[in-house]
A and B are shown apart, each in its own frame.
Chain A
Amino acid sequence: AQKITQTQPGMFVQEKEAVTLDCTYDTSDPSYGLFWYKQPSSGEMIFLIYQGSYDQQNATEGRYSLNFQKARKSANLVISASQLGDSAMYFCAMGGASGGSNYKLTFGKGTLLTVNP
């Protein structure tokens, strides 16, 4: 079974600063994918970034980067130059690896990020 743990219920950051949201995972699968989603107060779930377990480099997508440490089973999300619009709930999720047959996503409980002006 796959398990995702997000230990920070809430985080605060000043506008324009960087922030790291923690995520640890547990799985016995040799191949897997890690995802981050953003859920603003409006409720929709927005995909941010993906990291495959065999990817050699950390994933980056604009101001988002994923600090993947496989030995520690962590997949932290780093948001650089925070903006007020980044205030939202952030979910880490685990699922199948790229091109695999496992489509299920297991989500963590989420971290509520508040960006202060």
Chain B
Amino acid sequence: DAGVIQSPRHEVTEMGQEVTLRCKPISGHNSLFWYRQTMMRGLELLIYFNNNVPIDDSGMPEDRFSAKMPNASFSTLKIQPSEPRDSAVYFCASSLKSSYNEQFFGPGTRLTVL
């Protein structure tokens, strides 16, 4: 079975540009999470969805960030406009309410904003 798929794997953009990160969760999973990882702040939860509905977006840094999950197999995280301080690795993870609530992570998108 395919794991969590993220695209692109690497993104380099200039300040002010719009950036869209994409995620395909594991089929059948009903929860999806977006994390950001930086050296300074570690792993931070940005937002999570349950059954395609945003449950908690308190980790979204500011209005420049938005996330959508139009269906059970696709989610996007958009940054508009991007800033250099948004440079980080962005992970998508999915899970199924089961015995462990274990989250399966995608490979991450390394974003560099120049």
Chain A residues engaging chain B, CB cutoff 8 angstroms: 33, 35, 37, 43-47, 50, 91, 95-101, 103-110
> Apart from A45-B91, A95-B103, A98-B100, what 12 extra A-B contacts exist at CB < 8 Å?
A33-B100, A43-B110, A44-B108, A45-B93, A45-B108, A47-B102, A96-B101, A99-B98, A107-B42, A107-B43, A108-B42, A109-B42
Q: Is the interface of A mostly helix, strand, loop or mixed?
A: loop
Q: B107 touching A99 by the CB < 8 A rule?
A: no
Give the contact-size bracket for chain B. 20 to 34
Residues A103 and B95 in contact, CB atoms below 8 Å apart: yes
Q: Are A44 and B50 in contact (CB under 8 A)?
A: no
A35 to B50, CA, bound (A): 20
- B residues near A44, Cβ cutoff 8 Å: 105, 107-108
Which residue on B lies nearest to A43, using beta carbons? B108
Query: Which residues of chain B from 78 to 111 have any CB-CB distance to chain A below 8 Å in the complex?
Result: 89, 91, 93, 95, 97-105, 107-108, 110
